[in-house]
Structure 1
């Protein structure tokens, strides 16, 4: 497959047509102007690019996928990572700024990952649990995802979930979290059972999750609007939901601080009396 006419074809294939000649003339003119202004930077350090490629690889992105998203040749990325063994060279130390910008712009979002990549199930599981908490029976959610109830249950129990399943669950959550299950065929009894089941298992509703952190394994739901504070502990009592770990930790820390203050006060008073 031949290259399109332009600078690369002029330099690499020796084409001397009008289009290729014009591209070279434009490039040379831009370079001379940049050199006179002192802004000519034909190369940049490859280290950040290499580190970013390694980070993307750790997230499950293959070099072919990264190259396609960045719009660059895969062999150019291989040269940055491993060099060119056939030429006896090590990893590139310099790259073109355009290539660096293109690669650094690629992020390991769900949309960019391969559909068959295995990822953390936390976001998928939390979204399903939140929908059950507002009354969506699990078999309705399984049907929405095109799954059998048994496969749906197994998916939620696994340590990883496929990207395509995570994307489908996210789309389902966005479509249903404000919808009324009764208007989509769920029975009154089914809705009540779903809510009871979620309450027994302490599954937070959608309002307890921040959309920006629902996929973060380290995130905690905010049941009360005050979770993580001593006030949040008592707010849990008010809404009759067991206190979450951040609220228990905050309550215990506050109680220890109060005891320490009281102890210090008593010690001071005893010293004064003596």
Structure 2
């Protein structure tokens, strides 16, 4: 899957986990604007439409079009259209003020996964880790591709991709939740093919299911806990004992202990 040319800013910060300075500044400005606009809506009879308009446009960068936004917020599409474009046929400029309840409904819609369109491109970390962990467990890539209704060639790209579409991520999460406790051999995968899948995962350094905590598997900054003690001085020795290459957190912890 090819990457997208998304510019640095709020959307790239959230969807691709880019933490460069322009992305951090844009995300902070967006959050501040949204909080301020919500605060205005608590007491004014009418509120300035501009912060709300900026929020609507920002959601558009996440793939949430204004018509979809209107449905999610439970407001009229005509109202959102006038907020953005005015009424060109009548020569009216975009709305300058909106009712607080309308502003709050629109501002309440956030670019969370369930609100994004299926074609929106997001960071692929969680998708990649889940599929790789299933291969480590013995699920063959061809079987995973079949269960995801994906072309085998596309699946080979997805399992190592930095970016994926929302629909692909949701499918991978559902598949992982379904299969992570099931023995692939008992489910019909030939034992020799399951072992071959495991060897591929080991050779490529893919982490097993047990190395990931549900709270961290989607975090690009998180590392797998291979030993139960990764990131501590004890972890490196366990790596050697179970014959798994030493991970970076264990190498760092060992170097820190040696320098102390």
Say whether the fold is shared (TM-score over 0.5).
Answer: yes
Q: Does 1:222 align with 2:225?
A: yes
Q: 1:100 to 1:213 in 2, by over 3 A?
A: farther
Q: Secondary structure at the match of 1:181?
A: coil
Aligned counterpart for 1:187 among listed residues 186, 190, 200: 190
Cα offset, 1:204, TM superposition: 1.0
Instruction: Write the mapping of 1:60-75 to structure 2, written as runs, cut at 5 A.
Output: 60-75=63-78
Aligned counterpart for 1:141 among listed residues 144, 147, 167: 144
Instruction: Write the mapping of 1:87-166 to structure 2, written as runs, cut at 5 A.
Output: 87-88=92-93, 92=96, 94-166=97-169
Contact kept, 8 Å, 2:117 with 2:166, in 1: the verdict is yes
Q: Is the deviation greater in 192-201 or in 71-80?
A: 71-80
Higher alpha-carbon Rg:
1
In the alignment, structure 2 segments of 5+ residues that lack a partner are 1-41
Under a length normalisation based on structure 1, what TM-score does the superposition of the two structures give?
Answer: 0.68
1:63-92: CA deviations, max 9, x gaps?
Answer: 222221111134534555676774345x74
Under a length normalisation based on structure 2, what TM-score does the superposition of the two structures give?
Answer: 0.71
| Counterpart-to-counterpart distance in 2, 1:209 and 1:114 | 27
Q: Secondary structure at the match of 1:161?
A: strand
Judging by fraction of residues, say which structure has more helix: 1
* Partner residue, 1:35: none
Q: Is the deviation greater in 112-121 or in 49-58?
A: 49-58
* Partner residue, 1:268: none
Q: 1:209 to 1:80 in 2, by over 3 A?
A: farther
| Counterpart-to-counterpart distance in 2, 1:76 and 1:217 | 39
| Counterpart-to-counterpart distance in 2, 1:229 and 1:52 | 44
| Counterpart-to-counterpart distance in 2, 1:165 and 1:205 | 21
Contact kept, 8 Å, 2:121 with 2:165, in 1: the verdict is yes
Aligned counterpart for 1:233 among listed residues 225, 232, 236: 236
Matched positions, count: 217
Cα offset, 1:203, TM superposition: 0.9
Q: 1:233 to 1:106 in 2, by over 3 A?
A: farther
Q: 1:55 to 1:40 in 2, by over 3 A?
A: closer
| Counterpart-to-counterpart distance in 2, 1:123 and 1:239 | 26
Q: 1:64 to 1:227 in 2, by over 3 A?
A: farther
Q: Does 1:56 align with 2:59?
A: yes
RMSD: 2.7
Contact kept, 8 Å, 2:70 with 2:77, in 1: the verdict is yes
| Counterpart-to-counterpart distance in 1, 2:86 and 2:225 | 49
